[in-house]
C-alpha cells in the first residue's frame, strides 16, 4: 500500500484525517491496531501456523507506539491499554535474544541463520522465531516486575533490545523477504 492508497482510505473512512483514525479507537491501543489492520492491507501482518491464524501486526503496533512516544503518552498518544502492545517481531530482536541465550535454535535453523540462508515468509521457522521472541520478552517483563517491582512496557524492551542489536553489525539474524518488516 503506497501513500496514495493510504490517503484514499483515510479520505474514504476517516474524513481525510489521520487524527480521526486515532480518535476512532477510543484511546485503546488494541483498537487502533485493529483499525489500522482492517483499513490498510499492508499492516495485516499474519501467518497460518499449523492450521491457526497468528497475528503479529508489527507495523500497526509500531504506529501506535510511535504515537505514544511522540505525544509522550498524552493527547493523541494516550492509550489506556498501551501495555497490551507486544514487541515488534522482526529480525533484530530475535537475533539479540539468541545472542543472549534466551532463544535457542535447532541445529538446522542455526545453520540456516548463520549461513545467511533465507527463511521463507510465513514458514513454521519464521513464525516460531517471531512468536517465541514475543513470548520471551513478555517473560522478561514478568521477571522485571516480580523481581524489581518495575513495570516495563514491551515496546520499551523492544527499543532497548533493538538498539543493542543494531550496535552489533556482526550479529547473525534470520533473513526473510516480507513486506511486514
DSSP per position, 57-103: -HHHHHHHHHHHHHTTTSGGG--TTGGG-----SSHHHHHHHHTTSS
Query: In which band, very low, low, confident or very high, does the pLDDT at 83 lie, cut at 50, 70 and 90?
Result: very high
**What's the whole-model pTM score?**
0.93
What residue has cell string 539468541? 98
Of the listed 45, 81, 90, 158, which one is catalytic?
90
**For the chain, what is the mean pLDDT?**
96
Query: In which band, very low, low, confident or very high, does the pLDDT at 123 lie, cut at 50, 70 and 90?
Result: very high
Q: pLDDT for 13-35, tens place per residue?
A: 999 999 999 999 999 999 999 99
Query: Among candidates 3, 22, 158, 147, which has minimal Cα distance to 91?
Result: 158
* pLDDT > 90? residue 2: no
Query: In which band, very low, low, confident or very high, does the pLDDT at 3 lie, cut at 50, 70 and 90?
Result: confident
* Mean of pLDDT values over 158-167: 97
Q: pLDDT for 33-65, tens place per residue?
A: 999 999 999 999 999 999 999 999 999 999 999
Decide if 90 is catalytic: yes
As a whole number of angstroms, the longest Cα–Cα distance in the chain is 52
CA distance 54 to 102: 22
Amino acid at each position: 500500500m503506497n501513500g496514495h492508497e493510504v490517503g484514499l482510505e483515510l479520505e474514504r473512512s476517516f474524513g481525510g484525517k489521520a487524527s480521526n483514525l486515532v480518535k476512532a479507537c477510543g484511546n485503546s491501543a488494541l483498537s487502533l491496531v485493529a483499525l489500522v489492520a482492517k483499513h490498510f492491507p499492508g499492516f495485516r501482518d499474519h501467518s497460518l501456523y499449523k492450521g491457526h491464524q497468528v497475528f503479529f501486526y508489527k507495523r500497526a503496533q509500531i504506529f501506535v507506539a510511535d504515537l505514544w512516544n511522540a505525544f509522550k503518552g498524552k493527547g493523541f498518544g494516550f492509550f489506556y491499554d498501551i501495555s497490551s502492545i507486544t514487541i515488534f517481531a522482526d529480525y533484530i530482536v530475535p537475533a539479540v535474544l539468541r545472542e543472549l541465550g534466551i532463544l535457542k535454535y535447532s541445529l538446522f535453523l542455526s545453520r540456516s541463520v548463520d549461513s545467511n540462508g533465507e527463511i521463507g515468509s510465513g514458514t513454521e521457522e519464521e513464525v516460531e522465531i517471531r512468536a517465541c521472541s514475543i513470548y520471551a520478552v513478555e517473560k522478561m517483563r514478568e521477571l522485571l516486575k516480580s523481581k524489581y517491582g518495575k513495570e516495563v512496557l514491551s515496546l520499551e524492551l523492544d527499543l532497548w533490545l533493538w538498539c543493542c542489536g543494531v550496535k552489533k553489525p556482526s550479529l547473525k539474524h534470520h533473513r526473510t523477504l516480507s513486506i511486514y518488516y
